Chains A and B, each alone.
Chain A
């Protein structure tokens, strides 16, 4: 087997292990939270479900079985990739997730592109330029220390409620996505810009930068062709973190901008003890993380020739 294939096979095994671990943790967490799940599934505190209704719920969802038995049934289903039906919605979990996935992916992917672009642009323009850097750093610190919730409200007030440039509600496609994208992008752009600039400044001090300048390369060429490649490694490493931030951020952004998506699904599923939906979203998130990390490791090898020589 070629080394790359062996490496990929090992990563796949690890991914399966991660999925099992994530699903088990979700199972344990949902059973450890206090309270009778049947009652919460029946509608929470305000509900006036009769004991017969609660009994029907326990029987239907197997909540009366001992926990180890529930776990075995749970794992059996998971192996068959059967996520089951949502308790609250009475529909297949895969359907519920697929239906909402598009909205969340559009939001998160757009925000990721915008966030990385913003961070790279700021870093390229301000690295090694003390006054511009000071201003940019101040903005970055503002962005990363202001809660996304508040940024969202400010943007809405200014650009939707006052200027009417962007709608909050309705089906205006991309126009309705602009403010959520900016809100979410700002939550990652601050940190990414700081890290990229650090890397760029370090690279610009290297002898190779001096050599390039002596050959007459323009500043733009030095920054884009030489320094950026060196600065890219720590940024790649941070991408995993950025993905986590984005996933956490969509919950807030979807609430503030009244959007539908997985963030809303997971919040109402956790509150309503909708085990199958919680498990489905957790498994999906774990899978995304694993795949993106594998992709990043492949990218490292493309960016940094030294990594190709490291034993696989």
Chain B
């Protein structure tokens, strides 16, 4: 064959080729067709088998039994983490894992009460600035270091050290000044100002007490070493964290259901970010529990024999829409209340979430201490006629293009950036509903899609927004200070995205955080809730719900005040 006779020169001859080829073919196996058919049938059969084996493995519904020790529980969680140091990370999954490795000084037993844990008792000075903790005797860290006052001091100093680059923990104990070992087991902590949320802060895993010997090692060699019921074995990045039971465990919290060693031999956290994969891994028995059951599968899981759906409303701030009161049309309280009356929150939440999430009328979730149901009277609830009246009164007249209201030749336009990376729980769908209802009232809502960098620098810090949506779970009413005190803007590491600047609110949240009198605090927090709703700084939407899916083999998992699962008492049944 001459080299020039290559494929390019032969292309033109193609039209007549099929005839020639058929005639010249040597053999003609019909295997292929049958093979393809077999594959197709296999795939269809596999998919049709839906649910078949779920019935095939009937598991007796958690018959009360005597706990048995042993076994490894695998818990699949969404998301991943970049650091295992609770003092550094802000990710929820780090708190969830570290909760099992670290004990805290105190345990939160209810919305606003605390019990002993590593500290068997504590005293608060009259001026509220000095906390003296007496530690339990005979507690040792997983590396053998004894728990003493020095360890508490080392942990807290590590958290507030700027070199630690704490993303969250340090902000919880902002008034921390110093710690001093009074004796081996007595530690005295001094604050720069009275701060009643201090005990709650000390109860979270991000402020778990760490072994000073482990903290002394270089950052690259960091390993979490605490006194908790499970000790750290390994972390395969983006894959799993493996823990093992601590047989010497002797420091359960005051509200624990049993004493002594944990029942599980091993505890494995698998990182499975894809919702469908995580859900399938649970129902096919590859893991025993999952976090973040997709709301669309929640109903199905409830009905599947052998599995339990555990739904828990989170305490703290609801998923709220905050109205930037420093910019454009929303400077006028009438426009803010008009937006609030234009949106039928109850109907939207019902339609988007099929009853799995509850519509709310208060920025604080109902299970948070100092939640005040009476404050809801101040909310501008759904009333389109009222919305129209308020807008007329504020000078925004009907008759603009596309039905939007205008004033001085400008349409009533609000900017609500859409940070796609942070989108979850179909919040984008809910936002579309809000947009549509605002449009009926003549308010235009723009949703530019932005990436993380722009979201932080141009919007959260730059202030180029009218609306921002966010939720924040933390079991203390002090979240109201985080969200509405004038000194807590995002740029100052706070959550005041409505940019509220009210001396009254500042005074209330300050007094509530400093007072030793619970009644005063409750009154102050109630005033804040009523005020922010009356001024329409915030439009409450729904209370986020933690949906945990459990196989019925898993027994006695309890949940702490932050809604994290607690595995200390957990065991695996037959």
List chain A positions with a Cβ less than 8 A from chain B: 33-36, 39-40, 42-53, 55-57, 85, 88-92, 96, 99-100, 125-126, 128-132, 135-136, 139, 153-154, 156-164, 167-170, 199, 201-210, 213, 217-220, 222, 230, 254-261, 264-265, 268, 271-273, 306
Asked whether, in the complex, the Cβ of B10 is within 8 Å of the Cβ of A135, the reply is no
Contacts of B163 in A (CB 8 A): 56
B456 touches A35 (CB 8 A): yes
Q: Are A157 and B272 in contact (CB under 8 A)?
A: no
Instruction: A153-B277, A219-B25 given; name 15 further pairs at CB < 8 Å.
Output: A43-B90, A49-B165, A89-B237, A90-B219, A130-B18, A139-B36, A164-B284, A169-B286, A169-B287, A202-B10, A209-B24, A258-B272, A260-B237, A264-B80, A268-B238
Q: Could you tell me the distance between the alpha carbons of A202 and B21 in the complex, rounded to whole angstroms?
A: 11
Query: Considering the complex, which residues of chain B in the window 27-54 have a beta carbon less than 8 Å from any beta carbon of chain A?
Result: 27-29, 31-33, 36, 43, 46-47, 49-50, 52-53
Inter-chain contact B13/A205, CB cutoff 8 Å: yes
Inter-chain CA distance A201–B13, complex, in Å, is 12
Task: Assess the A45–B422 pair: CB atoms within 8 A.
Answer: yes
Q: Give the docked Cα–Cα distance between A132 and B22 (Å).
A: 13
State whether B166 touches A126 (Cβ < 8 A): no
Q: Please indicate the chain B residues that have their CB under 8 angstroms from the CB of A170 in the complex.
A: 286
The residue in A51, A90, A170, A268 that gathers the most chain B C-beta atoms within 10 A of its C-beta is A90
What 10 A-B pairs are tightest by C-beta distance, nearest first? A35-B453, A43-B167, A219-B26, A47-B167, A158-B46, A48-B171, A161-B280, A260-B239, A258-B272, A264-B238
- Determine if B168 and A43 form an interchain contact, defined as CB atoms under 8 angstroms apart: yes
**A34-B453, A47-B168 are known contacts. Are A89 and B28 too (CB-CB below 8 A)?**
no
* Chain A binding surface SS class: helix
With A90-B220, A161-B280, A205-B20 known as contacts, the answer to whether A135 contacts B33 (CB < 8 A) is yes
For A163, what are the chain B residues with a Cβ–Cβ distance below 8 Å? 46, 49
In angstroms, Cα B3 to Cα A85, docked, is: 55
CB distance from A147 to the nearest CB of B (A): 13
Closest A-chain residue to B47, C-beta based? A158
Residue of A nearest to B450 (CB): A34
Closest to A211 in B: B1
A303 CB, nearest partner CB in chain B, Å: 13
Assembled-state Cα–Cα distance A139/B76 (Å): 35
Chain B residues near A167 (CB, 8 Å)? 286
Interface 1/0 per residue, B72-114 and A, CB below 8 Å: 0010100010110000011100000000000000000000000
What is the distance, in angstroms, from B191's C-beta to the closest C-beta of chain A? 16
Check A88 against B277 for contact (C-beta < 8 Å). no
Cβ of A43 and Cβ of B89 under 8 Å apart? yes
Given A85-B220, A131-B33, A260-B239, A168:B90 Cβ within 8 A: no
B455 at the interface (CB under 8 A from A): yes
Q: Are B494 and A162 in contact (CB under 8 A)?
A: no
Measured CB to CB, the closest approach of chain B to A275, in angstroms, equals 13
B65 at the interface (CB under 8 A from A): no
CA distance A42 to B168 in the complex (A): 9
Cβ-defined contact, B220 with A48, below 8 A: no
Q: List 24 A-B contacts (CB under 8 A).
A: A33-B453, A35-B455, A40-B453, A43-B168, A45-B460, A46-B168, A47-B167, A48-B168, A56-B163, A90-B222, A135-B32, A135-B33, A135-B36, A156-B276, A156-B277, A158-B47, A162-B53, A168-B272, A169-B272, A205-B10, A205-B17, A206-B10, A258-B76, A258-B274
Q: Which residue of B lies closest to A234 (CB)?
A: B7
Most buried by A among B5, B24, B27, B28: B24
Pick from A42, A43, A90, A162: contact of B50, CB below 8 A: A162
Instruction: Note all chain A residues with C-beta closer than 8 A to B89.
Output: 43
Taking CB as reference atom, which chain A residue is nearest B39? A139
Q: With A49-B165, A88-B83 in contact, is A34–B454 under 8 Å at CB?
A: yes
| A258→B273 contact, CB < 8 A | yes
Cα separation A118 to B288 with both chains bound (whole Å): 37
Least Cβ–Cβ distance between A21 and chain B, in angstroms: 24
Instruction: Determine if B452 and A40 form an interchain contact, defined as CB atoms under 8 angstroms apart.
Output: yes
Q: 1/0 contact trace for B153-175 toward A, CB 8 Å? A: 00000000011011110110000
Within 8 Å by CB of B47, from A157, A203, A255, A260, lies A157
In whole angstroms, how far apart are the Cα atoms of A132 and B278 in the complex? Answer: 39
Q: Which A residues are CB-close (under 8 A) to B277?
A: 153, 156, 168, 256-258
B162 touches A213 (CB 8 A): no
Say yes or no: A222 contacts B26, CB within 8 Å.
Answer: yes
Most chain B CB within 10 A, of A92, A199, A206, is at A206
Chain A CB count within 10 A is highest, among B26, B53, B170, for B26
The residue that B33 contacts in the complex, of A40, A132, A168, A259, with Cβ under 8 A, is: A132
Which residues of chain B are within 8 angstroms of A129 by Cβ–Cβ distance? 25, 28, 32
Query: Is B281 on the interface with A (CB-CB < 8 A)?
Result: yes
Whether the pair A260, B238 counts as a contact (CB closer than 8 A) is: yes
CA distance A125 to B27 in the complex (A): 11
Within the complex, what minimum Cβ distance (angstroms) separates A58 from chain B? 11
**Residue interface bits B455-482, CB-to-A below 8 A is 1, else 0:** 1111011000000000000000000000
Residues in chain B near residue A35, CB distance under 8 A? 451-457
Q: How far is the CA of A42 from the CA of B165 in the complex (A)?
A: 7
Residue in A51, A88, A132, A256 whose CB lies within 8 Å of B32:
A132
Chain B residues with Cβ under 8 A from A259's Cβ?
239
Q: Does A156 contact B280, Cβ atoms closer than 8 Å?
A: yes
- Known contacts: A162-B47, A169-B272, A205-B17. The answer to whether A56 contacts B165 by CB under 8 A is yes
A161–B162 CB distance below 8 A: no
CA A82 – CA B274 in complex, angstroms?
35
Contacts of A210 in B (CB 8 A): 24
Give Cα A201 to B20, complex, Å.
11
Min CB gap B178→A, angstroms? 17
Contact across chains for B276 and A153 when beta carbons are under 8 A apart: yes
The one of A47, A158, A199, A206 in contact with B90, judged by C-beta atoms closer than 8 angstroms, is: A47
